[in-house]
Amino acid sequence: MNKSLAFCMTLFAAPLAAHPHIFVNTGLSFVLDDENRLTHVQVTWEYDDLYSLLVTEDMGVDSDYDGVLNAEDIAVLTGFDMQWIEGYNGDLVGMVDGASLGLSAPSAPTATLRDGKIVTTHLRAVEGAPKITKAAQFLPYDGTYYTAYEVRLPVEIQGGRGCAVAIAEPDIEGALAMTKAELGALPMDFDMEAAGLGDIGRRFATEVKITCAAQ
């Protein structure tokens, strides 16, 4: 079953309690140089308890269920979520003044287990290392809303001068109401892309904004 179909089925099957399948707490660390050029973004994903349990059991790590990973477990788990297909954006969109930012493939992956939840990090280079003279926006989200990202982990800036971050939360209830109304008016066998709903997850995305004082 593809993500779009799975999402639609949850909406129609449970119209009063529609929800995605995987929940991820997200943290972002923005790396800037002394001239406020944005060079890298480090992304942290903390997976929900159920998904973490499924992954650890499937991969055979933490077999004694004590919540502590040994060196072999860490080696097996590290990079499990970095097997990205061509064209996948890493569920992260960046923009400066309305123009999309190019982000590299992930590097320097880490993985651990914290309070029963898998926590991973990866690093992405920002193409062109743009100088932040206008606000930059980053939105962590899955376009199909199969995975729900919430920015509940630390968001910080490394380096730079006179820079700050601000977080704008989405109107989840409003987005759900709009989405249910739109999907309810469509036939069951519709195609999300053709219906203009291929990027539906953006409605549920938290916006992280970076600004830097003029130098």
Whether residue 19 contacts residue 5, with contact meaning beta carbons closer than 8 Å, is answered with no
Average pLDDT over residues 10-27: 64
Total number of domains in the chain: 1
pLDDT at 95 over 70: yes
In 3D space, the residue among 61, 178, 191 whose CA is nearest the CA of residue 113 turns out to be: 61
pLDDT at 72 over 70: yes
Domain range enclosing 185? 3-212
Q: Which residues of 12-33 are buried (b: 16+ CB within 10 A; e: fewer)?
A: eeeeeebebeebbbbbbbbbbe
Q: 183 pLDDT band (50/70/90 cuts)? A: low
pLDDT at 215 over 90: no
| pLDDT at res. 173 | 81
The winner for highest mean pLDDT among 35-39, 64-68, 142-146, 177-181 is 35-39
Average pLDDT over residues 162-183: 83
| pLDDT at res. 24 | 98
C-beta atoms surrounding 77 within 10 Å = 23
| pLDDT at res. 197 | 59
pTM metric for this prediction: 0.84
Q: What is the mean pLDDT of the chain?
A: 86
Query: Which has more pLDDT, 179 or 195?
Result: 179
pLDDT at 10 over 60: no
